[in-house]
A and B are shown apart, each in its own frame.
Chain A
């Protein structure tokens, strides 16, 4: 070997070894976390019983949520101006339209975007959800009868006092709440099986798979990771029919069953924040900034046609507005405008009704014309 040849070989050896070691570590680490998991075998019914009999009063953890609904990134359009990626060169410059995001688009953003959140739960009436946006945070805190929402970007807080009979809202979009929503749907139209055991957030879990037997739904399968010990659902993955990629995923990456500190639930709005008192008796959106004509329309309640996976919600005309940025994404179909995603179809009929469900367009059209 020539001198230069040996030299260039020597020159890059340390780098090659280092790169190899780093690469190997990066590749091996995720697999070792998934090393053999063997829980005692259980039937689907037994796992379901485990979920229903779960005896978890307090827990805290980190939730990663991602969705791939086939919609453009709504966080760029929507609410909190949090569409900036962490490596961003445009540091923290928010969308400067200055316009108030509508509550509907804020909710849409929360469901459709990718988020990281901290969840703290202590008993049935103390809960806190922190949505960790880049350089911002949104908080929902429930402490007894007090319900707080705080948004660090606008530095505004909303407070509501819950009535005694009101049940916890549960709309935290944490995996256990999402799982509860799907578990309610279990009926003869659902095939329930148990997949192979996995590790989620460092816990051995049963993989409960719900497969709708209906052919009219958009949902292909729902996979719920059930903690093998405590029965708490730790993750939910929804795949659209005919697709193996998850369309929606919400999973704990980290969970602790220790009681969270009481300070977390004692929320006082910071000095200088705008505090809005919300009367839970009225519709929150109405209270804030909606039109009076809604109250007349509110007499008509949304109805549900069909049940289980095929259910379609019909909102009478004039009750709910679709945010204009969403309407831009809709397409003209027979009978109205269609807003189509991987998991949900929404049909806005020409006479103003809104039909929504995890069902095919054909079913929405059939329901719309059948009314």
Chain B
């Protein structure tokens, strides 16, 4: 620790460069693009399915689905709702679970640690890389959804949950807010994945454990008998983004979600740091 603080100044730029190289490695991987393509397929499928069918009746299928045929912008919202419970955690679990374990399994972790970057900083860079992927993932779903919607359906003023109509520019802004909310919701899961990744040298194990964590959290969230634990669940506010589609916007769930996710990031970040800073890197 003391050596890293005395030499912090030169290492700062090293950390920045390290982050840039981490991101370029992440986004040059075919796997990353495959994950994003899989996510992009969700809005495409929804839009095409609605276009080809006669249109669902209100109250069936995911929320807002019946509005898609009248307004293409809803493709983005429906796709986000569909992606949240499984597809987003799955892709984020793959990326976050791979952060450290992936390097360890290919034997590159040793070389990383030889570079003048402290282990804590390395971990932070890995985490930021996973968070950037979350951002890319949510915006992929929303942007592809918006484009598909605009392509196949009319686009016009959007009716909010409160019955108020807003223009297209504001609607796009709201969709961007939803993306930020969903990214925020995934920060805790990223930290869990990072911790899992420090525990093992087998990336698949860390990925699976991360995805299982999100699934278990959602299952527990469904059980009224465990209601006392619900406010502490990672996934508790995942669908709270609907509050951004009200008029006026209700910010309560945004704030509660931020606080909860921050708690997860602090606890699992510290766990990951504790584990990683003392880890014997053998390969």
Contacts and interface: CB of A to CB of B under 8 A. Distances in A.
Contact of B85 (A11, A26, A89): A89
A271 B157 contact: yes
Contact of B278 (A11, A22, A150): A11
A309 B57 CA distance: 46
A22 B263 contact: yes
B218 A11 contact: no
A264 interface: yes
A62 B248 CA distance: 12
Given A19-B267, A22-B267, A87 B59 contact: no
B270 interface: yes
Contacts of A272: 70, 159
B62 interface: yes
A67 interface: no
Contact of A87 (B161, B165, B222, B278): B222
B218 A88 contact: yes
B275 A87 contact: no
A5 interface: no
Given A86-B240, A87-B221, A91-B84, A152 B161 contact: yes
A118 interface: yes
Which among B86, B161, B217 has the greatest number of chain A C-beta atoms within 10 A? B161
B173 interface: no
B62 A130 contact: no
Given A10-B278, A91-B82, A272-B70, A85 B222 contact: yes
A250 B64 CA distance: 30
A7 interface: yes
A73 interface: yes
B248 to A, nearest CB: 7
A62 B237 CA distance: 18
A370 to B, nearest CB: 41
A12 to B, nearest CB: 5
Interface string B175-205: 0000000000000000000000000000000
A93 B61 CA distance: 5
B58 A135 contact: no
A50 B207 CA distance: 60
B11 interface: no
A88 B165 contact: no
B221 A130 contact: no
Interface string A222-255: 0000000000000000000000000000000010
B242 A135 contact: yes
Contact of B269 (A18, A87, A98, A267): A18
Given A87-B217, A88-B221, A270-B164, A132 B58 contact: no
Contacts of A118: 248, 250
B58 A154 contact: yes
Contact of B81 (A91, A95, A98): A91
B138 interface: no
B103 interface: no
Interface in A173-231: none
B243 interface: yes
Contact of B239 (A91, A152, A261): A91
A295 interface: no
Nearest to A148: B163
A91 B84 CA distance: 8
Contacts of B10: none
Nearest to B158: A270
A95 to B, nearest CB: 8
Given A87-B217, A89-B222, A134-B239, A14 B273 contact: yes
B246 interface: yes
A21 B265 CA distance: 13
Contacts of A17: 270
B271 interface: yes
Interface string B247-283: 0101010000000000100110111011101100000
A101 to B, nearest CB: 10
Which among A7, A13, A89 has the greatest number of chain B C-beta atoms within 10 A? A89
A63 B272 CA distance: 39
A118 B251 CA distance: 12
A94 interface: yes
Nearest to A13: B274
A11 B275 contact: yes
Interface in B27-69: 57-64, 66-67
B164 to A, nearest CB: 7
Interface stretch (B13-21, B90-98, B129-137, B228-236): B228-236
Contact of B161 (A18, A95, A137): A137
A132 B267 contact: no
A254 B267 CA distance: 29
Contacts of B70: 272
B114 interface: no
A261 B162 CA distance: 15
B59 A18 contact: no
B9 interface: no
Given A87-B236, A89-B218, A155 B58 contact: yes
26 contacts: A10-B278, A11-B277, A14-B274, A15-B270, A15-B274, A18-B271, A19-B270, A81-B59, A86-B221, A86-B236, A87-B221, A87-B230, A89-B219, A91-B85, A92-B62, A92-B63, A93-B61, A96-B59, A135-B63, A135-B64, A135-B239, A137-B161, A152-B159, A153-B58, A154-B59, A155-B58
Interface of A: 7-8, 10-15, 17-19, 21-22, 26, 62, 73, 81, 85-96, 98, 118, 130, 132, 134-137, 139, 150, 152-155, 157, 254, 261, 264, 267, 269-273
What 3 A-B pairs are tightest by C-beta distance, nearest first? A87-B221, A18-B270, A92-B63
Given A87-B220, A88-B218, A94-B59, 10 more contacts: A87-B218, A89-B222, A92-B62, A92-B63, A96-B60, A130-B246, A137-B161, A152-B163, A153-B59, A271-B159
